[in-house]
């Protein structure tokens, strides 16, 4: 995968460190993917593990739409999930499974508060903008928390502007940005690039353009993959 040329800067490191970056890790993700939020927590722990070995990576979040045909206004969540999974019992069982997995990494999912399944293009545009402003990690965190913990409709421009404002971007500036179309083609192009690279599920992780793995792997498994990939790529470069 070729990482999108979005001008994104590295996310704020989990550990304050002056060590030069050992490489770039790209995460292909959707803002309404529960495993992506769980994977973010595992990633944070993994980065702390490799930092102890003197390895620091620049982190970039890249767009993927789980529901590319979703209407712009989104849909009522329960009806959508019943249709997708074949009934309310199956939908509830899946919610219970991801809620349990989230609790295992300290996240308190509240699926009972979630009323709508949004179209995520606007959310990805805000994440794209945050990358240009050096606030990508903070914005990704706020959007995940807004959707999975607080049940907010992250397809609504006013919600996106408020969450981005709380993450350090100017709320009014983000509202004005969302009223236009800047970043939309970049987001759609990056989504298409991910699919062309073979991404079929998220989160998917790449190092310096090389695919590593998909899924919310345990932190120690992630850390081992990062160490191994870094060693292989460093050896090739040498």
| Angstrom distance (rounded) from CA 2 to CA 121 | 20
Contacting residues for 194 by C-beta, under 8 A, at least 6 apart:
1, 28, 62, 63, 64, 204
Torsion, Cα 73 154 108 222, to 10 degrees, reads 110
Q: Which CATH class is domain 23-237?
A: alpha beta
* pLDDT of 18: 54
**C-alpha to C-alpha distances, 155 to 26, 71, 107, 168, 212, nearest whole angstrom:** 23, 10, 22, 19, 30
Number of other CB atoms surrounding residue 210 within 10 Å: 14
What integer is the mean pLDDT of 89-106? Answer: 97
Is residue 2 pLDDT above 60, yes or no? no
Measured CA to CA, the distance from residue 87 to residue 79 in angstroms comes to 9
**Mean pLDDT confidence for 185-197:** 97
pLDDT at position 78 over 90? yes
Paired sense of beta strands 210-214 and 204-207, if any: antiparallel
Structural domain boundaries in the chain: 23-237
pLDDT of residue 183: 98
Task: Decide if 99 contacts 177 (C-beta within 8 A).
Answer: no
Query: Could you report the per-residue pLDDT of 33-66, keeping only the tens digit for each?
Result: 999 999 999 999 999 999 999 999 999 999 999 9
Mean pLDDT of 130-141: 97
Among 143, 123, 120, residue whose Cα is nearest residue 74:
120
**Amino acid 238: pLDDT:** 84
Average pLDDT, the chain: 93
The residue-averaged pLDDT of 138-145 equals 98
Cα–Cα distance measured from residue 233 to residue 226, given in angstroms and rounded to the nearest whole number: 10
Report the pLDDT value the prediction gives residue 20, as an integer from 0 to 100. Answer: 86
Kindly state the DSSP code that residue 31 receives in the 8-state scheme.
Answer: T
pLDDT confidence band for 11 (50 / 70 / 90): very low
Asked whether residue 1 carries a pLDDT value surpassing 60, the answer given is: no
Which conformational region is residue 60 in: left (phi greater than 0), alpha (psi within -120 to 50 degrees), or beta? beta
Q: Name which residue leads in pLDDT, 13 or 31.
A: 31
Which residues make Cβ contacts (< 8 Å) with residue 75, sequence separation at least 6? 116, 117
């Amino acid at each position: 995968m070729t990482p999108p040329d979005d001008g994104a800067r590295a996310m704020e490191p989990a550990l304050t460190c002056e060590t030069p970056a050992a490489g770039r890790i790209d995460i292909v993700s959707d803002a309404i993917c529960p495993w992506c939020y769980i994977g973010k927590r595992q990633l944070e722990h993994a980065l702390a593990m490799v930092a102890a070995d003197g390895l620091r990576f620049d982190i970039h979040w890249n767009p993927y739409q789980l529901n590319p045909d979703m209407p712009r206004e989104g849909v009522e969540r329960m009806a959508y999930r019943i249709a997708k999974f074949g009934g309310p019992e199956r939908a509830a069982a899946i919610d219970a499974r991801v809620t349990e997995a989230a609790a295992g990494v300290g996240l308190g999912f509240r699926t009972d508060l979630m009323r709508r399944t949004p179209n995520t293009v606007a959310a990805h545009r805000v994440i794209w903008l945050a990358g240009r402003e050096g606030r990508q990690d903070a914005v990704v965190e706020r959007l995940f928390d807004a959707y999975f913990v607080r049940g907010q409709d992250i397809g609504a421009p006013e919600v996106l502007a408020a969450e981005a404002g709380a993450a350090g971007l100017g709320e009014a500036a983000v509202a004005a940005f969302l009223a236009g179309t800047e970043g939309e083609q970049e987001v759609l192009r990056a989504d298409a690039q991910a699919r062309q690279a073979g991404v079929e599920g998220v989160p998917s992780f790449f190092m310096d353009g090389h695919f590593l793995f998909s899924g919310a792997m345990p932190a120690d498994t992630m850390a081992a993959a990062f160490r191994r990939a870094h060693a292989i790529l460093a050896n090739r470069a040498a």
